[in-house]
Chains A and B, each alone.
Chain A
Amino acid sequence: RKEVEQDPGPFNVPEGATVAFNCTYSNSASQSFFWYRQDCRKEPKLLMSVYSSGNEDGRFTAQLNRASQYISLLIRDSKLSDSATYLCVFFSGGYNKLIFGAGTRLAVHP
């Protein structure tokens, strides 16, 4: 089983839609979780950390489910500018490094 798995997409949604991505991880010792955003041919940038109790940042909500070993990202009221690839990332205590998923592509259209 891969350390982290994401649906590669693409998710094609109209402006204003709500879209959700999931990401599963296999290492139960994983300690910290993040969502990064990567625009086409650009470097990844931190979108938000994921806390155990769930957290919101404007239109973005992140959730962590340790029992089922997945994290999720919910984007409400999608904007054209949300079009990007979203990478789930976790810090593996066992490997002592950040592990990146391959990313989920989101395309928001008018």
Chain B
Amino acid sequence: NAGVTQTPKFQVLKTGQSMTLQCAQDMNHNSMYWYRQDPGMGLRLIYYSASEGTTDKGEVPNGYNVSRLNKREFSLRLESAAPSQTSVYFCASSVERGNTEAFFGQGTRLTVV
């Protein structure tokens, strides 16, 4: 049972570089999310997608873009990486938005130098 799969697990970027974090779920969930986790700050929502074809901003969307490619896949793009984007990124999915258990991927540890 794969659940939620994120790639890559680790990445180092130089300031100004771009990259895309990939996320796929095989649970037929409608809703998908991208969070970042920084020490002492908990998880903060970057973007979410309530269903295929829709995306909405979360608490900290600046500097990021997302694509809900299909029901399974939800990618996060950093167009021009900044050191402030050094963080651990988690993708998650749930049957529906908010009010049900969220399942998380294993995380991507991103360092921007």
Residues of A at the B interface (CB closer than 8 Å) are 4, 8, 31-32, 34, 41-46, 49, 87, 91-92, 96-98, 100-103
Contacts and interface: CB of A to CB of B under 8 A. Distances in A.
A96 B97 contact: yes
B106 interface: yes
B45 interface: yes
In the complex, the 6 A-B pairs of residues with the closest C-beta atoms, listed nearest first: A43-B104, A102-B42, A100-B43, A100-B42, A91-B98, A46-B101
A98 B40 CA distance: 18
B62 interface: no
A8 B40 CA distance: 8
Contacts of B35: 100
B41 A43 contact: no
B29 to A, nearest CB: 14
A10 B110 CA distance: 26
B93 to A, nearest CB: 12
Contact of A102 (B40, B48, B90): B40
B58 interface: yes
B34 to A, nearest CB: 12
26 contacts: A4-B42, A8-B40, A32-B99, A41-B107, A42-B107, A43-B90, A43-B104, A43-B106, A44-B43, A44-B90, A46-B101, A49-B101, A87-B43, A91-B99, A96-B97, A97-B45, A97-B97, A97-B98, A98-B33, A98-B45, A98-B98, A98-B102, A100-B42, A100-B44, A101-B42, A102-B42
A44 B98 contact: no
A31 B106 contact: no
Interface string B17-52: 000000000000000010100001111110010000
B42 A42 contact: no
